[in-house]
Amino acid sequence: EDKVVQSPLSLVVHEGDTVTLNCSYEVTNFRSLLWYKQEKKAPTFLFMLTSSGIEKKSGRLSSILDKKELFSILNITATQTGDSAVYLCAGNTGNQFYFGTGTSLTVIP
Amino acid sequence: DADVTQTPRNRITKTGKRIMLECSQTKGHDRMYWYRQDPGLGLQLIYYSFDVKDINKGEISDGYSVSRQAQAKFSLSLESAIPNQTALYFCATSDLPGTGLDTQYFGPGTRLTVL
């Protein structure tokens, strides 16, 4: 059974902290790993990862994939209150996207 | 204008009623999906369609049906709504693998409450 597991389920940090969100996957015919940010609306795309060890960066956010150990991490440095959201990861087979339950991040001023 | 739209955005209905949720997209994608999201359960796939003649069940299709009226339109129906179908429903689209960014584009969601 294909599955994606995220940890922790929730996280509360202070502004300026650095956080690491984890995503492990067991997806048959794996093609790519995607990260989304979901505030009180639809998920919005952050990163797509297909190759091991190559870091993707966007501002204070970065992500990397390990295809040998079947996991990915999303790092957020110097967190801001606007980073408060649910972060979803998904394993993509090319036909289907398997989502984790998400990590709820709350950044306190 | 939004690339993926859903109607209605909110709906309250009673047990046993038939409900249709509609999704339209202007992205020109062949692939469309319906998900439901419940607190603590993430996004669960209900149905997906790779073109007008190709419709597939997802992991939680019982109690739901779909219709792909055109490339741009994909509707989800609850034949006889029950309270545990109360959830947030998302429509999404994606391009063919390898033709571009392998991601999904989500509609704004429909919040459905079944009393």
- Nearest C-alpha of chain B: how many angstroms from A42? 5
Q: Evaluate if residue B1 carries a pLDDT over 60.
A: no
CB contact, 8 Å: A3 with chain B?
no
Instruction: Give the neighbor-by-neighbor strand order of the sheet with A3-7.
Output: A3-7, A19-26, A71-76, A61-66, A56-58
SS3 at position A31? coil
CB contact, 8 Å: A42 with chain B?
yes
Model confidence at B16, pLDDT cuts 50, 70, 90, reads very high
Whole-angstrom CA distances from B84 to A98, B78, B88 are: 22, 12, 12
Nearest Cβ partner for A94 among B33, B45, B97: B97
Model confidence at A8, pLDDT cuts 50, 70, 90, reads very high
The predicted model gives A34-39 an average pLDDT of 94
| pLDDT for position A94 | 80
Nearest Cβ partner for A42 among B44, B45, B107: B107
Cβ–Cβ under 8 Å, residues A98 and A6: no
**What mean pLDDT is reported for chain B?**
91
| pLDDT for position A40 | 80
| pLDDT for position A19 | 98
Q: Evaluate if residue A4 carries a pLDDT over 60.
A: yes
CB contact, 8 Å: B39 with chain A?
no
Among residues of chain B, what percentage have pLDDT more than 70? 95
Digit-coded pLDDT (tens) for A37-87: 999 889 999 999 998 988 999 999 999 999 999 999 999 999 999 999 999
Q: Evaluate if residue B102 carries a pLDDT over 80.
A: no
Among residues of chain A, what percentage have pLDDT more than 90? 83
Which amino acid belongs to residue A92?
N
**Is the Cβ pair A42, B106 closer than 8 Å?**
yes
Residue of A nearest to B95 (CA): A94
The predicted model gives A7-34 an average pLDDT of 95
**Is the Cβ pair A48, B40 closer than 8 Å?**
no
The predicted model gives B65-80 an average pLDDT of 95
**What mean pLDDT is reported for chain A?**
94
Cβ–Cβ under 8 Å, residues B21 and B6: yes
Nearest Cβ partner for A101 among B41, B106, B109: B41
- Nearest C-alpha of chain A: how many angstroms from B109? 6
**Is the Cβ pair B40, A101 closer than 8 Å?**
yes
Preferred mutation among A99, A103, A104 to probe B, highest tally of B CBs within 10 A = A99
Model confidence at B32, pLDDT cuts 50, 70, 90, reads very high
**Cα–Cα distance between A107 and A73 in angstroms, integer?**
18
Q: Evaluate if residue B2 carries a pLDDT over 70.
A: no
